[in-house]
Amino acid sequence: MATQYQNLSDYDATKVPDASAMKFGIVVSEWNQNITGALLHGAHSTLLKHGVKPDNIIIRFVPGAFELTFGAKKLAETNAELDAIIGLGCIIRGETPHFEFISQGVTQGFVDLNMKYDIPFIFGVLTDNDMQQSIDRSGGKHGNKGDEAAITAIKMAQYALDSQK
């Protein structure tokens, strides 16, 4: 979805399932910490807003976006009770192909995790052309991708639970 057409933090709260009995993991990249910290704040506060108990949110940090996949995998393997895992990161285009390699790698990593495990892994990674775009999408004029990732996690966790019935 194109951000210019939608604020990432705008959603219909009546369409969000009750999350009071759900448990979530959040893996956050330390790289571009000013951005990822804002994404974490958005995701965490949105989970709490929708009834998730503070003790039912596990937060782990990894060095960079590329490491999010491994961190999310380990979080799933060591916390079987989690209903969904959110990966939060920020990759900003530079002067070399590094941006493409990391973006493709972490994206494919999350696809693979979703195929391997029986819980949803939510891709909350910004892939922006410059720092201003990242600021705009982590609490700025386009809302907060962390909010969107949390809402997606709740909805997909409910979908997974409903699919087991």
Whether 31 and 90 have beta carbons less than 8 Å apart is answered as: yes
In eight-state DSSP terms, residue 11 is -
pLDDT tens digits along 34-88:
999 999 999 999 999 999 999 999 999 999 999 999 999 999 999 999 999 999 9
With a CB cutoff of 8 Å and minimum separation 6, the contacts of 108 are none
Give the Cα separation of 138 and 86 in Å (integer).
15
From the candidates 41, 44, 50, 98, which is the catalytic residue? 98
Of the pLDDT bands very low, low, confident and very high (cuts 50, 70, 90), residue 96 is: confident
Alpha helices in 1-144 (DSSP H): 33-49, 68-78, 98-116, 131-136
Query: Which residue in this structure is represented by tokens 């969000």?
Result: 16
The question of whether 98 is a catalytic residue gets the answer yes
